[in-house]
Chain A
């Protein structure tokens, strides 16, 4: 059974710091991995999608990497801002399945 783990569960950093959020998964037979942002009381916003054949994706200050063989992904946020404060969720789409398996998320707080 696929399990997705995100470490740490919560992270507090000063504004301007570069940071890394971690995601690990137990079964490497995935179609893709997706990073989402969730603001309190809101839905999920897709940040980056990495297909299984890709190693990384970049969007602005965000960079996500994927190492299928080790079952790991990282989300790198450069020059963090208070507006980056949110919960970041990682999800993998299992091969041959429509199901996304989610981690519990990392709650990020960027202090001014």
Chain B
């Protein structure tokens, strides 16, 4: 199993551009998550999904959108990129939640907005 994969690994955007960060998992997990990690800080939840067709906001959703059309894929869309969105983005998945849900993380996408 590849686990959780993310593309691209690195990206530089200009202010106002848009892009989609891709995330795929092959573990048939229902729960998927997007986090951002700023330097010297802990991770913060952007959006999450409890299954195909169901998404919900996390702690810092502004400026982002998500969709979940399949169990495997959970893309994160940035519209009108801003310098404040410069960060490392991690996708994660878990089989279940409510206490038993160990989360598995992808390698991250390092995004710079100039």
Q: Which A residues lie at the B interface, using CB under 8 A?
A: 4, 31-32, 34, 36, 41-46, 49, 51-52, 89, 91, 93, 98-105
Contact = CB atoms under 8 A, between A and B. Distances in A.
B58 interface: yes
Contacts of A46: 102-105
Chain B interface: which size bin?
A: 20 to 34
Main secondary structure of the interface of A (DSSP, over half): strand
Interface of B: 4, 31, 33, 35, 40-45, 48, 50, 56, 58-59, 90, 92, 97-108
A98 B99 contact: no
Given A31-B98, A99-B45, A104 B56 contact: no
A93 B42 contact: no
A23 B4 CA distance: 27
A28 to B, nearest CB: 14
